[in-house]
Structure 1
């Protein structure tokens, strides 16, 4: 029901990747990036995000990159890299979208775009979480968030 907008969105956005990176002592640099929205550079201990991202896009990218940091990922090439990308998306989506928030907003949202906006996530993160909740996360592809 649209009357719950403030409540659901506030709860959904309790996970703050910016604050998490601050606690980890890892800076975020904004740069022009050719073919990705973000990247974790373990050698420099820095996360780089693309210029021009919306706050929602940046929040999702940072959540994804945090998962690479926590997993100790050092590259995204080959089949191992694809698996690492899927796991980073999945773990980030789980932190960004609580089941209760997803279910509450899904009751009244007119479609995926409105649901994603209400939950403060990108369409990709919403899709990732929805597939996860349906038990099919192992079939996810990769996203431009990869890095």
Structure 2
């Protein structure tokens, strides 16, 4: 893995290239109830076929965080939720640089447009905004903030 890939964030973050450098196989196939999954035992990521660029980039970034954490399948529901939240949070931080978010926030009128411009799913944009507490960001009125428990 190149040094540039290790420090790249935001629009320059390329999870597919990092996975390739790590030798992690990405398999595209029909999936019923998820967009992606990491299999530590097989050293591969399986993602849903037919995803668009933004969806695939977001899913690969999420699954890459499972790779970095060396996550195994977890039968404990609470631990599994924690793994998923951690993967979402860390992926959103790498995919959405604050400088890119600040630039888009100046003109994007809604979160859908902002997510598209940032090349992430709207869900990961929401995770990133929650991470930043949403204060002062468009699309997140202060009265509408949710707190995590």
Question: Aligned residue pairs: how many?
Answer: 130
Question: Structure 1-normalised TM-score?
Answer: 0.83
Q: RMSD of the TM alignment (CA)?
A: 1.9
Map 1:99-118 to 2 at 5 A.
99-118=98-117
Question: Structure 2-normalised TM-score?
Answer: 0.82
Q: Which runs of 4+ in 1 moved over 4 A?
A: 135-138
Instruction: Provide closer, same or farther for how the CA distance between residues 85 and 110 of structure 1 changes in structure 2, counting only shifts above 3 A.
Output: same
- Structure 2: runs of 5+ lacking an equivalent: 1-8, 135-144
Q: Which has the higher contact order (CA 8 A, sep 6+)?
A: 1
- Structure 1: runs of 5+ lacking an equivalent: 1-10, 141-147
Q: After TM superposition, give the deviation of residue 130 of structure 1 in Å.
A: 0.5
- Per the alignment, residue 29 of structure 1 pairs with 27
1-structure distance, mates of 2:117, 2:98: 14
2-structure distance, mates of 1:99, 1:19: 22
- Per the alignment, residue 121 of structure 2 pairs with 122
Q: 2:39 aligns with which of 41, 47, 71?
A: 41
Matched, 1:71 2:59: no
Q: 2:17 aligns with which of 16, 19, 33?
A: 19
Structure index of larger Rg: 2
1-structure distance, mates of 2:147, 2:26: 30
What per-residue deviation string (whole Å, max 9, x for no partner) do you get for residues 78-105 of structure 1? 1001000000000000000001111111
